[in-house]
Amino acid sequence: MSDPGTTPLRHSPLHARHEALGATFAPFGGWEMPVQYAGDEGAGKGARGKGGVVAEHTATREAVGLFDVSHLGKVRISGPGAVAFVDRCLTNDLTRIVPGKAQYTLCCAADGGVVDDLILYLVGDDEVFAVPNAANSAGVGKLLAAVAPDGITVSDEHDAHVVLAVQGPASAQVLTEAGVLPRDLGDDDLDYMAFVDVAWNGQAVRLCRTGYTGEHGYELIAPADGAEVLWDALAAVVAEAGGRAAGLGARDTLRTEAGLPLHGQDLGPEITPNQARCGFAVGWKKAEFWGREALLAERETGPRRRAWGLRATGRGIPRSHMPVTYGGSTVGETTSGTFSPTLKTGIALALLDTAAGLSEGDVVSIDVRGRPLECEVVSPPFVPSHVR
């Protein structure tokens, strides 16, 4: 039972399916979401051993993983001039893409801090569909709505849709056999960050070549009504392909291996795109976007700290907010850290002071609960990306 003074955690429309698979749940961005699944209930034919984060991570790397990420936000911006309006607010340059393409972008504050990072789907000249992070979805929507000109509507559609991710080398096979990826379209016909609206079981499903794992994969935005039918259909084919249902624990280890930032850790109000090496998501030549002046000034002088990867050379598992030292001086701290199931060692993302002059190959030390752990400075990703 929730504390009377707290807001109850929200549940995915697929919560009952996760319970049936023996999921362990944890709060995430105001939602109670599956972290991992118990035993072999979430495993497919050919999957080895019991469940858990490592098994789900490995299944995604070697076959396919099925993730429920319905906690992610869903915001529709529509009306005459909607595309130009969004382009004036968020960092990336929407003129670089055409309808049917998606784009990674940032919502920044005036001081350059990152309010959120999100994916935009360019539906048409008068419609953009945004997928922010769970905890920031309402905030991003309110920021846009507060400055939207007459005729442009910003609609929170968080409860209207589920978001499922099918990730891994067998992802296209799974979606084709489940009837979601049309056979006449084919995997090679849908480029990375491209999307198509398809009909499945009488409902519209938005199928996009995106993901957060570093693997070839897809994300599906589908109506919440009927989501269990879609989940069941995908889960059955995933099982036949030797894959598993996978929780947010495996999603975190996969994205860290891929060097992908998590808002609230590697990005945030105190961490700018320049510091996080996310300048690729900024349209530097645009005349207007939130935080433009601050980011241009920081870019000109150079950020005081910069994101790096750290790969442990000894035994130990880094976590976030652990001090990093070099030559006896503190030079930064970790922002994300975990055990890499693929590399069989600890890895971390960290913000390191640029004044320290660190470069790839240098050896630093992380304070892991009072014990030093030596790590090599590397450029992410830690594991080669298979996104194509």
Helix (H, G, I), strand (E, B) or coil at 56: helix
Per-residue b/e over 352-388, b at no fewer than 16 CB within 10 Å?
Answer: bbeebebeeebebbbbbeeeebebebbebbbbeeebe
DSSP result, 209-259: S--SSSSSEEEEEEESTTHHHHHHHHHHHHHHTT-EEE-HHHHHHHHHHTT
- Average pLDDT over the chain reads 94
Look at phi and psi of residue 337 and say left if phi exceeds 0, alpha if psi is from -120 to 50, else beta: beta
Q: DSSP assignment, residue 7?
A: P
Distance of CA 321 to the CA centre of its chain: 20
How far apart (Å, rounded) are the C-alpha atoms in residues 321 and 336?
8
Given pLDDT bands bounded at 50, 70 and 90, which one contains residue 307?
A: very high
Residue type, 227: A
pLDDT tens per residue across span 152-184:
999 999 999 999 999 999 999 999 999 999 887
Q: DSSP assignment, residue 139?
A: H
In the chain the domains, ranked by start, together with CATH numbers, are 10-67+161-256 (3.30.1360.120), 75-156 (3.30.70.1400), 304-388 (2.40.30.110)
Helix (H, G, I), strand (E, B) or coil at 134: helix
306 CB neighbour count, 10 Å cutoff = 17
Alpha helices in the chain (DSSP H): 15-20, 53-62, 82-89, 137-147, 171-177, 227-240, 248-257, 292-301
Q: How many secondary structure helices (H) and strands (E) does the chain include? A: 8, 20
pLDDT tens per residue across span 263-276:
999 999 999 999 99
pLDDT tens per residue across span 331-372:
999 999 999 999 999 999 999 999 999 999 999 999 999 999
How far apart (Å, rounded) are the C-alpha atoms in residues 34 and 28?
9
pLDDT tens per residue across span 219-271:
999 999 999 999 999 999 999 999 999 999 999 999 999 999 999 999 999 99
Residue type, 69: V
